[in-house]
Structure 1
């Protein structure tokens, strides 16, 4: 049931925010669980020239970021920092994979980055609507 303040557009915006946030979190934080023991991902981190501890830091950061995104009690400022961190991570991943593995692999992180941008647009629209 809609409240007096919740218009159909706001309802659509909230739905878009939730859907894009779930998709981008699955695409970015989901693989983080495999950074700990998946041989292919461990070898990929090494092939890119990163030290072994970096994959652990990256995995922990992504998991914490996903939790912050989905816990409603977390202030919006922290969620904005997660958007920035995920954006930097995805753009850095695109650059690293593009330089080492070729343009096709470098393009892959740009897909979740585009969805992240849409999610952030609706995050701002829903949380800072006038």
Structure 2
């Protein structure tokens, strides 16, 4: 059980730092704005994305947030990473950097699996 908690919190804190803290601190830099423009999205899209990333990452690390809310947060991040990968492939082609969001998606998957192991022990064994 202790190992499961360590794995869950390591993966979840990585997502929190990568998808919550980092965008909150860097979203208004010219590099971040250019990244959004490069993909063909309007500037306001980046701002909206940052708000939802910060709120979602907070929901993942706050233990009192449970059930459907957390499930929707996980789903939202899955869509985020899938669509980021698709956008990068369409704009830049299938280069290795285009698949980086899938690496983060795998870490999110670890967080999700261990969230269920810790909070729904009977259904995780089935």
State TM-score, norm by structure 1.
0.86
The answer on 1:79 being equivalent to 2:83 is no
State TM-score, norm by structure 2.
0.88
Partner of 2:33: 42
**Alignment partner for residue 56 of structure 1, among 18, 22, 47?**
47
Contact 1:48 1:96 in 2 (8 A): yes
* Contiguous gaps of at least 5 residues in structure 2: none
Partner of 2:103: 111
Moved more, 108-117 or 68-77: 68-77
Contact 1:32 1:58 in 2 (8 A): no
Q: Per-residue CA shift, 1:23-71, capped at 9, x if unaligned?
A: 1222222332112x11011011011111111101100000001111111
Residue 18 of structure 1 deviates from its aligned partner by: 0.7
What RMSD, in angstroms, separates the aligned Cα atoms of the two structures? 1.2
Question: How many residues end up aligned between the 2 structures?
Answer: 120
Moved more, 54-63 or 25-34: 25-34
Partner of 1:3: none
Structure (1/2) with the larger helix percentage: 2
Residue 84 of structure 1 deviates from its aligned partner by: 0.6
Partner of 1:91: 82
Partner of 2:116: 124
Moved more, 38-47 or 21-30: 21-30
* Contiguous gaps of at least 5 residues in structure 1: 1-9
For 1:30 and 1:92, the matched residues in 2 are separated by 21
For 1:72 and 1:20, the matched residues in 2 are separated by 15
